[in-house]
Chain A
Amino acid sequence: MPRTPTGPDFSVDYLSILDESGEADQDLLPDFSEDQLLKGFRTMLLARRFDERRLKLQRSGKIGTFAPVNGQEAAQVGTISTLREDDWFVPSYRETAANFWRGAKPADMLVFDAGYNEGIVIPEGARNLPNAVPVGTQMLQAAGIGYAARLAGSDEVVMTYFGDGATSQGDFHEALNFASVFDCPVVFVCQNNQYAISVPVSRQTRSKTLAQKAIAYGIDGIQVDGNDIFACFVAANEAVRRAREGKRPTLIECVTYRLEMHTTADDPSRYREDEEVEKWRKRDPIERLEIFLRDRDLMNDDRLKSMEDEIAAAIDAAWQDAEGRIEKAEGPQAMFDHILDGATDELIRQKKQMTNGYGGISGYG
Chain B
Amino acid sequence: MAELTMVEAINLALHQEMKQDDKVVVLGEDVGRDGGIFRVTKDLIEELGEDRVIDTPLAESGILGFSIGMALRGLKPVPEMQFSGFSYLGFHQIESHASRLRWRTRGHFNVPMVVRMPYGGGVRALEHHSESREVFYAHMPGLKLVVPSGPRNARSLLIAAIRDPDPVVFFEPKASYRAFREEVPDEEEVAEIGPAGILREGDGLTIVAWGAMTPVALAAAEQLAEDSGIEADVIDLTTLAPLDFGTIAQSVKRTGRCVVVHEAPLTYGPGGEIAARLQEEAFLSLKAPVARIAGPDVHMPYFAREKSYLPTADRIIEVSRAVLNY
Binary interface encoding of chain A residues 121-154 relative to chain B, with 1 for a CB under 8 A from any of its CBs, else 0: 1100010011011100111111111111101100
Count A/B pairs, Cβ under 8 Å.
140
In the complex, the answer to whether B68 meets A141 with C-beta atoms within 8 Å is yes
**B134: Cβ under 8 A from any A Cβ:** no
A145, B73: Cβ atoms closer than 8 Å: yes
Collect the chain A residues with CB atoms within 8 Å of residue B74's CB.
148, 152
Known: A134-B96, A140-B61, A178-B59. A338 touches B103 (CB 8 A): yes
Interface size on A, residues (CB 8 A): 45
B61-95 Cβ-contact flags toward A at 8 Å (1 or 0): 11011111111111101000000000000001100
Residues of B within 8 A of A149 (CB): 73
Interface centre among A142, A144, A338, A363 (most CB of B within 10 A): A144
Find out whether the CB atom of B61 lies under 8 angstroms from the CB atom of A170.
yes
Most buried by A among B69, B75, B142: B69
Within 8 A of B (CB), among A109-125: 117-118, 120-122
Question: Does B245 touch A at the CB level, under 8 Å?
Answer: yes
Query: Which of A140, A151, A341, A345 meets B66, CB within 8 Å?
Result: A140
Q: Tell me whether A140 and B93 are in contact (CB under 8 A).
A: yes
Contact B108 A340 (CB under 8 A): no
Is B97 close to A, CB under 8 A?
yes
Q: Is A1 an interface residue (CB 8 A)?
A: no
* A181-194 near B? 1/0 per residue, CB < 8 Å: 11000000000000
Q: Tell whether A129 pairs with B62 under 8 Å between CB atoms, given A120-B106, A338-B102.
A: no
Complex interface: chain B residues within 8 A of A126 (CB): 108
> Is A4's beta carbon under 8 Å from chain B?
no
Nearest chain A residue, comparing its CB with the CB of B22? A151
Is the beta-carbon distance between B166 and A137 smaller than 8 angstroms? Answer: no
A171 located at the interface, meaning its Cβ lies under 8 Å from any Cβ of chain B in the complex: yes
The answer to whether A143 and B65 touch across the interface, beta carbons within 8 angstroms, is yes
User: Are A181 and B65 in contact, with the CB atoms below 8 A?
Assistant: no
Q: Does A174 lie at the interface of the complex (its beta carbon under 8 Å from any beta carbon of B)?
A: yes
Query: A145 near B69 (CB under 8 angstroms)?
Result: yes
Chain A residue, CB-CB nearest to B113: A144
Verify B242–A344 contact, CB threshold 8 A: yes
Is B246 close to A, CB under 8 A?
Answer: yes
Among A120, A143, A344, which residue has its beta carbon within 8 angstroms of that of B105?
Answer: A120
Partner of A148, one of B61, B70, B110, B280: B70
B178-202 interface code vs A (CB 8 A; 1 in, 0 out):
0000000000000000100000000
B59, B164, B165, B277 — most chain A CB neighbours (10 Å): B59
Please name the residue on chain A nearest to B98 by beta carbon: A141
Scoring A143, A146, A170, A338 by chain B CB atoms within 10 A of each residue's CB, the highest score goes to: A338
* Interface 0/1 of B250-291, CB less than 8 Å to A: 000000000000000000000000001100110000000000
Please indicate the chain B residues that have their CB under 8 angstroms from the CB of A141 in the complex. 65-66, 68-69, 72, 97
Chain A residue numbers with a CB within 8 Å of B142 are: 339-340
B299 within 8 A of A: no
**Residues on A with beta carbons closer than 8 Å to the beta carbon of B62:** 140, 171, 174-175, 177-178
Residue of B nearest to A146 (CB): B69
Minimum CB–CB distance from B325 to chain A (whole Å) comes to 29
How many angstroms between the C-alpha atoms of A344 and B25 in the bound complex?
A: 28
Question: In the assembly, what is the distance between CA of A121 and CA of B104, in Å?
Answer: 10
Interface residues of A in 28-67 (CB under 8 A from B): none
Separation of A170 and B91 alpha carbons in the complex (Å): 13
| CB-contact partner of A181 in B57, B107, B108, B109, under 8 A | B57
B96 engages A137 (CB within 8 Å): yes
Q: Does A275 make an interface contact (CB < 8 A)?
A: no
Which residues of B in the span 102-129 have a Cβ within 8 Å of any Cβ on A? 102-110
Q: Report whether B69 and A137 are in contact in the complex, using a CB–CB cutoff of 8 Å.
A: no
- A338 contacts B107, C-beta separation under 8 Å: yes
Asked whether any CB of chain A lies closer than 8 Å to the CB of B223, the reply is no
Greatest chain B CB density within 10 A among A126, A143, A148 is at A148
Q: Please state if B57 and A339 are interface contacts (CB–CB under 8 Å).
A: no
Q: How far is the CA of A364 from the CA of B283 in the complex (A)?
A: 11
How distant is A330 from chain B, measured CB to nearest CB, in Å? 12
Interface string of B212-223 (1 = CB under 8 A from A): 000000000000
**Cα–Cα distance between A117 and B110 once the two chains are bound (Å):** 16
Question: Is B227 positioned at the interface, with any CB of A under 8 Å from its CB?
Answer: no
Distance of A137 Cα from B75 Cα, bound (Å): 20
A178 vs B90: C-alpha distance when bound (angstroms): 14
> A341 to B97, Cβ gap below 8 A?
no
Q: Which residue of chain A lies nearest to B243 when distances are taken between CB atoms in the complex?
A: A346
B226 within 8 A of A: no
Residue of A nearest to B273 (CB): A363
* Cβ-defined contact, B57 with A178, below 8 A: yes
Residue ranges of A at the interface with B (Cβ–Cβ < 8 Å): 88, 117-118, 120-122, 126, 129-130, 132-134, 137-149, 151-152, 170-171, 174-175, 177-178, 181-182, 337-341, 344-346, 363-364
Which residues from chain B sit less than 8 Å from chain A, CB to CB?
A: 25, 51-52, 54, 56-57, 59, 61-62, 64-75, 77, 92-93, 96-97, 101-110, 141-142, 144, 164-166, 194, 242-243, 245-246, 276-277, 280-281
Q: Could you give 6 example pairs across A and B, Cβ below 8 Å?
A: A134-B96, A140-B61, A144-B68, A145-B69, A345-B246, A364-B280
Q: Apart from A137-B93, A337-B106, what are 4 other A-B pairs with CB-CB below 8 Å?
A: A140-B62, A174-B65, A177-B59, A181-B56
